[in-house]
């Protein structure tokens, strides 16, 4: 009877260790995408690290407002400027 209690205690202890130590760190690894080529993995991981955490509806509203306020034409302006500079060489 005591032997069964010790075995049960060891199993419960191992399960608790896995849950608290290993289970919480399972999702903290940097994401790796098979779609993104190797040379851009660092940028992909940086974007994943800097992405805002959305844990509630108000957080989602804030992120959506930020995305709605993003000027996508600004990226094109910068690329056009780089192209113009490159063509002058």
- The residue among 56, 33, 58, 61 whose CA lies nearest residue 46 is 33
Query: Per-residue pLDDT tens for 26-35?
Result: 555 555 666 6
> Domain-by-domain residue ranges, the chain?
1-51, 55-89
DSSP secondary structure code for residue 10 in this structure:
H
Region label for 37, one of left (φ > 0), alpha (ψ between -120 and 50) or beta (otherwise): beta
Distance of CA 25 to the CA centre of its chain: 13
| pLDDT of 9 over the 90 cut | yes
> Percent of the chain at pLDDT above 90?
11
């Amino acid at each position: 009877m005591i032997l069964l209690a010790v075995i049960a205690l060891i199993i419960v202890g191992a399960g608790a260790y896995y849950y608290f130590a290993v289970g919480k760190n399972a999702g903290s690894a940097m994401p790796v995408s098979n779609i993104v080529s190797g040379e851009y993995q660092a940028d992909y991981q940086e974007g994943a690290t800097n992405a805002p955490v959305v844990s509630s509806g108000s957080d989602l509203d804030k992120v959506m407002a930020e995305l709605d306020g993003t000027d996508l034409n600004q990226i094109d302006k910068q690329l056009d400027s780089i192209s113009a500079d490159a063509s002058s060489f």
